[in-house]
Structure formats: C-alpha cells, structure tokens
Structure 1
Amino acid sequence: MTPTTAVITLCSAARLDHVRRQQRLLRSTPVRRIVVWLDADPPPGPPEFAGADLLHVPPGENGLRLAAGRNRGAAAAADAGLIVFLDADCLPGTALFARYRAAADAHPGALLCGPVTYLPEGVKPEDATALAALTAPHAARPAPPDGENVVAGPADHRLFWSLSFAVTAPTWRTLGGFDEAFEGYGGEDTDLAYTAKQAAVPLVWVGGAHAYHQHHPTSSPPWQHLDDILRNGRLFADRWGFWPMRGWLDAFAAAGAVEETPAGWQRT
C-alpha cells in the first residue's frame, strides 16, 4: 500500500466514540489521517486524534457544513495519490485501502465506491481482523466479488453515497468538490454524483473495499433533519430538475408534515 493515501473523516461530538474506534484502527495502516471537526466549539486537544491532521470547519447559518468540511480535508490532501473519504461512524475493512488503490490504478478517472455493512446494535469491533466475519453489505448498493470492479450504468450515479468513497487527486479537481451551498443534512452527495455524471466521470463499484457502519440511534424518516432536507432538496432540484431523497419526502408527506406543490415540496 502506498503511504500517499490520505483518509478524510468528518467528526463532531455526537460521533466522537465512533471516530475514536475508527482512528484506532487507522493508526495501524500507512495512511495520512485528516480529521475535520464540524462543531462550533474547538476540537478536542491531544491525545484525542494523535497523529492525525486536525482541521476545524465550524457550522454555517443552516447547520453543519459537511460539504465544506470534505472540501477542506481534500484541499489538505491535494498532494496525495489517493483521497479516501470515510464517515466518522465507519470502520475500514482490512483490504479497503488496497482495493481502492487497485481500483484507482485500473480506473484513475473514476468515482470509486466500496460496499458498506451496517453493524448491529452493541457490536463494537476493536480489532480489524474481526470485521470480515461481520460482512453483510447493504442490499441497496452493488457489492461485486472481492477484487472485481464494476462500472455503474448511466442511471446509477443516483446510488452514490458518501459513507465510503475514493478518488485520485486529478479526479477530485475535475469534480471541483462538493457544493458548499449545501449545509445541514442531505443532498450534497447526490449533487456530487450528478456533477460527476455531467463531467463524464464514471462511478465504479469496488469489490472488497468493505467499510463497516457502526450502529447509532436514528429515525426513519429523519425528522430531526426535515428542514435541511427541504432546503437542500430545493437547491438540488433547482440545479438538476428533480427532487432527491424522495423516499423520505414521501414518508414525511404520509405523516402530513409536507406536501408537494407546483413550486416544490414544502411544509404543510
């Protein structure tokens, strides 16, 4: 594995326990670790993220700045051969970096995505070698066999998600990064995927680049993010001509919280 691989993780106090476990596993791999702290308060001091580059991107007017945080991390990793984005609640499988590196060599101009397994509640692996036995990739995304790469079809960019993905530095420059107009939760990753599609950047599913999402309480639909989803959904729709996150919007509508109007989705 090349030491010019940089791993970017966004973190806040709400996910601190998750990212601690992730960073412990990452310390055993020859990668450059970049942690971007998203809360308004300053990030924890040493030794919380010992050995990692720690950046601070405070919230904006409308909430946490995930898009800006990822861009800031990528700017710090501009000289890396491969840039890997791994969410704070995701643990890297033992082959994740090797598989992303091999995929980048085979598809240097692509947006690379590996399978993600959602771990059950109470499962908190402390040893990377324990992860393989837990592998059960989420069924909503392709999971090719280990070592195989599958170029997505023209309609599949909508399936991109930002929990775990990788790009070469030149591909990142082609994409131009995430749109920082997106603040709070939702939409910025699908926007990046459609930017990639527009720029003829293929999406490639990378077999064996497994990540493992650590359990945390959530709601479906995510009521705490309703206003973010409406605001970011409108921003996306104004650009691409349709609304993302339709499953959540339909669920909110079924509960009587929102409605679709000729002007778009809005609160009832």
Structure 2
Amino acid sequence: MSAPFGRPIIGNRWDAAADAAEPRSVSVIIAHFDQQRELDRTLAALRRQTHPRALLQIIVADDGSPTPPVVPADVTLARHEDRGFRLAAVRNLGVRHSTGDILCFLDADTAPEPDYVARITRLPSLAPDVVAVGRRRHAALADDDRPIELAGPANEIAEPAWLDDAYRRSRDLLDADARSYRFIIGAVVACSRWLFDHVGGFDESFEAYGGEDWEWAYRAWLQGAAFAHVPDAVAWHDGPDWAGRDEADRRARKNEETLRLMRSIRAPGAAPFALLGPNADVLVMLRAAESVAAGVVCVDSLLQALPDARVVVPPAVRTALEADPRVVDDWQGRTRVEVEVPAPVHVDSDAALRLRAAVAAVGDGDLGAIAFGSHAIVRASRARARDARWGAPTGWRTETRSAASITPLHDAPDLEAYFGGWWPPG
C-alpha cells in the first residue's frame, strides 16, 4: 500500500518537513466512560477548532457506560458492552468508524484548545510516518464552564516533571530513541491512518489502566515511525496525572503495567536482564552453514556476545542445538535489530564489544545499518520496515566498521578443542 500523501523523512528528522501542510480530513476519536460533563466540555472545545469543520469527523467511542452518552446529531457514537476497562479496544472501535486521513486520539476528560487539531495534525499531514504527541496540561476544572483556553490556565495544576524534562532533553523527541515510546501519551496523540493500518490497532489484551499507548508506540517505532512532540498543541486534562495519587497504589499499578509491557517491549532499559520473553531485542540470522560444527561455533560465539538474542539457523544446526530455546528455525516475534550472518563466523571478545555497540547504535538518528565487511550486517528493523512501506529507500545511512576478530569458518572446527578452550590455536 503506497502512501496516499506526503513524503518520507530521513531518520527522525521531522523538523525537515515543510512549514505548511494542506489541511486533511481528520477523525477525532474520543474514548469515553461515564463522564458526560467532561465529554460535554471536550465536545464544546472541538466545536471551536480552527481546523476546517468540513474536514473534521468527531467520534465518541464509549466503553460501555451504564447510561449511553448524549452527543450532538453530527457526532458519531460507537459503543460496546461493559466488560471492564477496555481502553485499547474502545480506541480501536472508534478507528473502525473513522474516515479521516489523520487519526487524532483524545480522552473524554481532555479538552483541546482551539488550535489543537490544526497543530497536532500538521506533521502527520506532511510526513505520514510521524506520530505526533501534544502537550497534556492539567487543571482542576470543577464547575468552570468558560472556554478551555481560559478555564485551563486559571485552574492549572502541576504537569509531570519527568515528562517535561524528557521533551526538553530530547528536543521535543527530535532525538528520540527506542525508549521514547514512554513519552507518547495516548490521550493527546495523532498519526496518519496509513501508518496506523501498517502498525495495527491497539493491543486489546490490555484490560487494565495504562500501557496500551506505550505498547502501540513501541510497535510503531519498530515499524519505522518517527516521534514528534508538538508543545503548542495543548489539551487540558481535568485532574492530576495519575502519578500524583497515593504512592502505594501508584507503585502497584505501575508494576502491573510494567509486567504487561515486559511481554512486548525488549528494548534496553525496559526488559529484564536475563529472563526471556515472547519477543526479543535482537534477531540473528545465520543464512547457511557448510558444516554443523561451524554452525555450532558460530551460534555459540554470537550468543556469548548477544545472550538474549534469538538465532534463526539452517535445519541441521537447529537439530544439533534444539535444547536451547533461543535457537529457532523461524521467527515471527518482533525485534528491534536484525543481525544477518551469511556464513559461519567466530566472534571473539573484542569483536563482541563492537557488535554490541552496533546493536545499540542502529535505528537512532538516520543510522539504519552497520556492516562488518562481508561477515555480518547489523540492521535496524525500523529502517527495513519504513523502506518496505514506501517501496523504496527512504534515506537510511549504512556505516562500515572493522571486521577484525570476526573469523570466517570455512572448514569444520574441532568442537572438542573449541569446548575445551584450546581453539583457535595461537
């Protein structure tokens, strides 16, 4: 499916996009559960958007409220039954009723200022790989019925300092990396429908508060999305950030969220140090092996360098190593980095350090791949995915590094000597 509009960017350089974008059709999807007053405020704010009204579709996606919400005739209401907290599922429900080029997600208790839609959809309208996140400010709005751009500042309460600091340090996510999914807040996010369809919907197995937006954002990153924070796209949340709640309750909920995310996200700093999960940060692909012994030595040395990787090997090598769950003959899970090894090699400790450094580096900025001569290439999954989505190269850079201490195994090595520690000679 080719892009319906816009053009690819290089790396995460959303700042290189043109200054102005043609307004595109936007579907605003408001997740709601039993918050009629807050919903009324958000709908009123959407009535006063500067984005052309003819290009604005408003959908209220209701998570099974006891009483159906009341919405104006020109607002689409989509509902499913109450089966507990299902924010991921209700957002997907809203998407299924959408028709816009751009999807703009809000929560019922998060009311946008008049320029919000125009500002947060500008980048996805220019470069459909961009996931834009607005600025969610907080206010104790209570019974203040003034327009949100007045009521919000008059009743403002503290924003999360960690989030503000992250946007500042990353230059509004221009310097995003594999852990920047933590700064994508689902209540104030927009993306192209084209990208959403490629990434897939929110994971509906998330049936408790928190995490569904981060899981989706990480998946989008692996699919080549670029992240951008748009600080002047402001929406006001009624009440404090959930991190301001009782500390014991906050920690318990955060631990539950982290355990859910652990199954999906294996990026450094987000996953256990030794425990395996259904996904892996690195996938190694050994394409061929002239001998099983060479394949065994190759896989063993690569797993010493990258112990939590999954390794796809030829069938004969897989049979010899079937006791190790990291060695597989096929892989459908998600990974951040792919290491392609055309033929067996031995990686010593010095080369292992360089290999680990390459795994850490690819995917950030415009660095798509690092080649170690003809022996191995380390490639960011997101670079491959973006190129595939556009059907052409999208500007990722390939760097060449020293292949020293990566030794080709042209002949079958002596396994007893290798296991015993006296191979290779010298």
Structure-1-length-normalised TM-score: 0.75
| Equivalent in the alignment of 2:249 | 223
Q: Does the CA contact (< 8 Å) of 2:45 and 2:147 recur in 1? A: yes
| Equivalent in the alignment of 1:173 | 197
Answering whether residue 259 of structure 2 is matched by residue 234 of structure 1, we say: yes
Runs of 4+ displaced beyond 6 Å = none
User: Secondary structure of the equivalent of 1:111?
Assistant: strand
Q: Identify unmatched segments of 5+ residues in structure 1.
A: 247-261
- Cα distance in 2 for residues equivalent to 1:222 and 1:164: 27
Once the two structures are TM-superposed, the CA of residue 42 in structure 1 deviates from its matched residue by 5.1
Q: 2:212 is matched with which residue: 176, 188, 194?
A: 188
| Equivalent in the alignment of 2:27 | 6
Answering whether residue 126 of structure 2 is matched by residue 106 of structure 1, we say: yes
Q: Quick one: structure 1 residues 8 and 188, their matched pair in 2 at CA, closer, same or farther if it must change by over 3 Å?
A: same
Matches within 5 A, 1:149-160: 150-154=173-177, 155-160=179-184
Once the two structures are TM-superposed, the CA of residue 96 in structure 1 deviates from its matched residue by 0.8
- Cα distance in 2 for residues equivalent to 1:3 and 1:106: 10
Number of residues of Structure 1 aligned to a counterpart in Structure 2:
240
Q: Quick one: structure 1 residues 216 and 161, their matched pair in 2 at CA, closer, same or farther if it must change by over 3 Å?
A: closer
- Cα distance in 2 for residues equivalent to 1:217 and 1:161: 11
| Equivalent in the alignment of 2:75 | 52
| Alignment RMSD (CA, Å) | 3.5
Q: Quick one: structure 1 residues 22 and 129, their matched pair in 2 at CA, closer, same or farther if it must change by over 3 Å?
A: same
User: Secondary structure of the equivalent of 1:209?
Assistant: strand
Q: Quick one: structure 1 residues 149 and 223, their matched pair in 2 at CA, closer, same or farther if it must change by over 3 Å?
A: closer
Q: Quick one: structure 1 residues 42 and 131, their matched pair in 2 at CA, closer, same or farther if it must change by over 3 Å?
A: closer
Answering whether residue 64 of structure 2 is matched by residue 39 of structure 1, we say: yes
Q: Does the CA contact (< 8 Å) of 1:93 and 1:132 recur in 2? A: no
Once the two structures are TM-superposed, the CA of residue 206 in structure 1 deviates from its matched residue by 1.2
Q: Does the CA contact (< 8 Å) of 1:120 and 1:215 recur in 2? A: yes
Q: Does the CA contact (< 8 Å) of 2:29 and 2:106 recur in 1? A: yes
Q: Quick one: structure 1 residues 64 and 49, their matched pair in 2 at CA, closer, same or farther if it must change by over 3 Å?
A: farther
- Cα distance in 2 for residues equivalent to 1:222 and 1:174: 39
- Cα distance in 1 for residues equivalent to 2:27 and 2:142: 29
Q: Quick one: structure 1 residues 33 and 131, their matched pair in 2 at CA, closer, same or farther if it must change by over 3 Å?
A: same
- Cα distance in 1 for residues equivalent to 2:230 and 2:110: 16
Q: Quick one: structure 1 residues 4 and 237, their matched pair in 2 at CA, closer, same or farther if it must change by over 3 Å?
A: same
User: Secondary structure of the equivalent of 2:201?
Assistant: coil
Q: 2:107 is matched with which residue: 87, 98, 101?
A: 87
Once the two structures are TM-superposed, the CA of residue 85 in structure 1 deviates from its matched residue by 0.3
- Cα distance in 1 for residues equivalent to 2:225 and 2:276: 31
| Equivalent in the alignment of 2:381 | none
Once the two structures are TM-superposed, the CA of residue 103 in structure 1 deviates from its matched residue by 1.7
- Cα distance in 1 for residues equivalent to 2:266 and 2:188: 27
Q: Does the CA contact (< 8 Å) of 2:24 and 2:125 recur in 1? A: no
Structure-2-length-normalised TM-score: 0.49
Q: Does the CA contact (< 8 Å) of 1:182 and 1:232 recur in 2? A: no
Which segment is superposed worse, 88-97 or 207-216?
207-216
User: Secondary structure of the equivalent of 2:208?
Assistant: coil
Answering whether residue 187 of structure 2 is matched by residue 141 of structure 1, we say: no
- Cα distance in 2 for residues equivalent to 1:9 and 1:26: 11
